[in-house]
Amino acid sequence: MPKFGIDVSSFNGDINFTMIKDQIDFVLIRCGYGNNVTSQDDSKYERNVRECEALGIPYGVYFYSYALNMEDTESEIQHCLRLVRKANPTYGVWLDMEDGDGYKASHGFPSKEMLVSICERFLMGIESAGYYAGLYASLSWLNGYLNDRRLDRFDKWVAQWAAENSYTGAYGLWQFTNGKYLEGWTQPFDGNYAYYDYPALTSGNPSEPEERPEPKPEGEAMKIVGNGVNFREDAYVGAPVILQLYYNTEITWLWDDGWGWSNCVYNGRKGFVANEYLSGWQRLSSYKRAKIFGSGVNMRAYPGLDGAVVGQLGWGDEISVISIAPSNWMRIKYGELFAYVKYDSTYIKIL
């Protein structure tokens, strides 16, 4: 039975992987694009890698090519490897070959021979560094520009948004839609099926990343600015409490999830603390805002349909989202009222 996964990039924003982790088997993460300059690193790459590793979600990496010639290709190989060496991509390293923004067409579209040579050289460069490498392209490109025996030995990730995959060559991944919705996230993802056991195929990858992606400053000391602050196993109200922390207690801050919570270490134990209770809260993320596009949305005293109704939200109301539990119950603040609301993306939109 195939595994189901999504591919993500900076276009998806700060994804709350906690909310979707039980709905996916893997993630394919864009690391960058074009020549080897840091401005062309994907701005969410390190965060996405960090989140997947923290939650135990297997992932692979892909790189979008703008190469027009072999000189560009060498730079792109070094760019990709610089970023991949910060990760452990058990679902492989993939070259994304397309012309989605028309760059190639407007800069002298390469010949078929050149496109094939670019792909072959890039994939061989990734392989020579010890990684499992494959090629992403649309069905039309695989059957046209990239239909060459030199690429036959490389795994394929076929993009065909349809009910069936009509590619006749061998492939391990199929991107079957760009409109897959998951509970707990308001925007659609690209949906993919994996037919091979990629963790087994990538067992020959370098065993440890050369440089793990950590935010800067790394391992920063912060203090608790409240009393009885819950230090939780996960980043949501209702997650098991490891212990409680008190005013001026020093902890080590590791990273911010972008939703108002941070992963920290206290006495050697990792856990999550709401950013509002950390001394460095001014430069950390705040709780997300959400807007109601419905009427009569019940706010409850406790998560669950048996929780007493303490008020209702109407069309256009805005709320602060303190957290969303895996059960899809949101801990919210509306005015001065704290309550729980059942999350449904059809009438609650995260801003």
Separation CA 267–CA 290 (nearest Å): 35
CA distance 138 to 291: 37
Query: 32: which strand partners?
Result: 41, 63
pLDDT at 207: 60
DSSP state of 86: T
- The domain covering 3-201 belongs, at the CATH homologous superfamily level, to Glycosidases (3.20.20.80)
User: Which whole-number Å values give the CA distances from 8 to 15, 44, 178, in the listed order?
Assistant: 9, 9, 11
What distance in Å separates the CA atoms of residue 217 and residue 206, rounded to the nearest whole number? Answer: 27
Position 182 scores a pLDDT of 92
pTM: 0.67
Which segments of the chain belong to CATH 3.20.20.80? 3-201
Over residues 117-162, the pLDDT tens digits come to 999 999 999 999 999 999 999 999 999 999 999 999 999 999 999 9
pLDDT tens column, 221-260: 999 999 999 999 988 998 999 999 999 999 999 888 888 9
DSSP code of residue 254: E
Q: What is the pLDDT of residue 171?
A: 96
The DSSP code for 292 is E
Q: Which architecture, in CATH terms, is 220-283?
A: Roll (2.30)
The CATH classification of domain 288-350, taken from the options 3.40.250.10, 2.30.30.40, 2.30.42.10, 3.30.2130.10: 2.30.30.40
Positions of CATH 2.30.30.40 in the chain = 220-283, 288-350
Res. 303: pLDDT tops 90: yes
Alpha-carbon gap, residue 331 to 319, rounded angstroms: 10
Residue 107 has pLDDT above 90, yes or no: yes
Residue type, 111: S
For 152, which DSSP code? T
- Residue 345 banded pLDDT, cuts 50, 70, 90: confident
| pLDDT at residue 280 greater than cutoff 60 | yes
Sheet holding 241-245, edge to edge: 220-223, 250-256, 261-266, 269-274, 229-232, 241-245
What span, in angstroms and rounded, lies between the C-alpha atoms of 123 and 243?
48
94 band by pLDDT with thresholds 50, 70 and 90: very high
